[in-house]
């Protein structure tokens, strides 16, 4: 075991604040980003919960919920690609929901085909539900939005953009951000979105081989009259748009920076005081001519170990807290890349703290031992 690790283990109570500070920083970064990712994953539900490989929309679409009308003839453009197995039309857009007892609410109408293999049908729509939706004027909403939309449940009526609709079913787990999701058929969606008969929002495509989606998309992108994305691309684009538009990214940056700052200060002070406590011992080594860099290297090793242990403690805690958040209805997404970034950022912070703590070694003065 290295001297750094021996010291760390023996003086663990002294180093504990540093370890906890590093852990706290890693936890803060991972959990906040995870919460934000979870929150904004709601915006990409229409992409993530359907089975299309490719989305074709109006030029420069910023997010799936901000699609603009395109001509239905665009269907042919995607259908003509040799890698495409099948295509279908898709309608999505904001509309106004009039509550039965007065008041309006913004809602997100999604009209898709409703057969079993439909590309735009969210997976939460059971066969029973999508069969019922084939009746004009029927809709399905998520149970979490009942209160927001002022309705009690299945069988209730409301108005969307002046059109009377009837709730025939409820989904679970499809929470909304800007406006509750209203699922219906293409025919029901047209009047709710007030689009012309030959207008749609997206063309969805399925490839024979999903791996070909990127090739098809890059080919379609050469045409400036449309925008095309693979499903993962469109999902990420939608999330990033909302992340940046709502300035939540800035809030996240501040919170993460503050967490890092607190972590850095505590860690560097911990390392500084631990090193300062051994100044006389280091001075003996300096008197014997042992170069200063050896001691500096040991402090840096300690900062690395403090970082590794801190991150090692933080990651299980992050998963535990994410499970707690899930239990209470929150949503935390913790992809591996996010955990890796949190770990790397925090380890870098720990190393910088070590660099800052090196100043204590400047006070190592061998001659002082002889006074």
- The residues binding another protein (CB under 8 A) are 3, 6-7, 9-11, 278, 280-281, 283-285, 287-291, 294, 366-367, 369-371
Number of H helices and number of E strands within the chain? 13, 11
What does the alpha-carbon distance between residue 6 and residue 138 come to, in Å, rounded to a whole number? 70
In the bound state with another protein, the residue whose beta carbon lies nearer, of 3 and 254, is 3
In the bound state with another protein, the residue whose beta carbon lies nearer, of 4 and 139, is 4
Least separation in angstroms between residue 274's CB and another protein is: 9
CA distances from 78 to 52, 82, 196, 230 (A): 12, 9, 21, 12
What does the alpha-carbon distance between residue 83 and residue 80 come to, in Å, rounded to a whole number? 9
In the bound state with another protein, the residue whose beta carbon lies nearer, of 12 and 127, is 12
DSSP 179: S
If you search the block for the tokens 């050896």, which residue do you land on? Answer: 294
What does the alpha-carbon distance between residue 296 and residue 358 come to, in Å, rounded to a whole number? 6
Least separation in angstroms between residue 366's CB and another protein is: 5
Least separation in angstroms between residue 8's CB and another protein is: 8
In the bound state with another protein, the residue whose beta carbon lies nearer, of 166 and 292, is 292
Least separation in angstroms between residue 46's CB and another protein is: 58
Closest CA to 185 of 56, 88, 85, 43: 88
Tokens encoding 207: 């490839």
Least separation in angstroms between residue 296's CB and another protein is: 12
* Cβ(29)–Cβ(259) below 8 Å: yes
Radius of gyration of the chain (CA): 29
In the bound state with another protein, the residue whose beta carbon lies nearer, of 336 and 370, is 370
Residues in the chain: 371
Tokens encoding 281: 């011992």
């Amino acid at each position: 075991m290295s001297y750094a690790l021996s010291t760390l283990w023996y003086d663990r109570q002294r180093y504990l604040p540093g370890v906890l500070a590093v852990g706290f920083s890693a936890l803060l970064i991972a959990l906040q980003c995870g919460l934000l990712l979870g929150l904004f994953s709601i915006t990409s539900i229409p992409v993530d919960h359907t089975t299309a490989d490719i989305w074709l929309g109006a030029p420069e679409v910023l997010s799936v919920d901000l699609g603009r009308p395109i001509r239905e003839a665009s269907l042919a453009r995607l259908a003509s690609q040799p890698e495409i197995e099948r295509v279908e039309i898709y309608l999505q857009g904001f509309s106004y929901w009039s509550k039965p007892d007065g008041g309006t609410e913004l809602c997100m109408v999604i009209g898709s085909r409703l057969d079993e293999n439909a590309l735009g049908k969210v997976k939460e729509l059971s066969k029973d539900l999508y069969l019922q939706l084939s009746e004009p004027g029927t809709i399905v909403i998520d149970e979490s939005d009942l209160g927001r939309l002022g309705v009690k449940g299945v069988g209730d009526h409301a108005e969307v953009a002046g059109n009377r609709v009837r709730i025939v079913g409820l989904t679970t787990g499809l929470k909304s951000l800007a406006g509750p999701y209203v699922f219906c058929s293409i025919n029901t969606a047209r009047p709710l979105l007030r689009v012309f008969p030959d207008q749609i929002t997206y063309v969805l495509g399925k490839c024979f081989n999903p791996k070909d989606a990127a090739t098809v998309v890059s080919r379609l992108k050469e045409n400036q009259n449309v925008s095309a994305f693979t499903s993962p691309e469109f999902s990420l684009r939608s999330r990033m748009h909302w992340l940046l538009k709502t300035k939540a990214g800035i809030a996240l940056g501040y919170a993460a920076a503050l967490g890092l700052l607190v972590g850095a200060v505590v860690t560097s002070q911990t390392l500084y005081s631990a090193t300062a406590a051994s100044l006389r011992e280091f001075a003996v080594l300096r008197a014997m001519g042992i170069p200063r860099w050896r001691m500096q290297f040991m402090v840096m090793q300690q900062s690395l170990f403090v970082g590794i242990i801190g991150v090692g403690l933080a990651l299980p805690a992050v998963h535990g807290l994410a499970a707690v958040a899930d239990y209470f209805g929150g949503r935390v997404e913790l992809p591996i890349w996010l955990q890796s970034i949190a770990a790397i950022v925090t380890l870098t912070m720990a190393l910088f703290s070590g660099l800052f703590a090196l100043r204590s070694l400047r006070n190592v003065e061998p001659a002082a031992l002889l006074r």
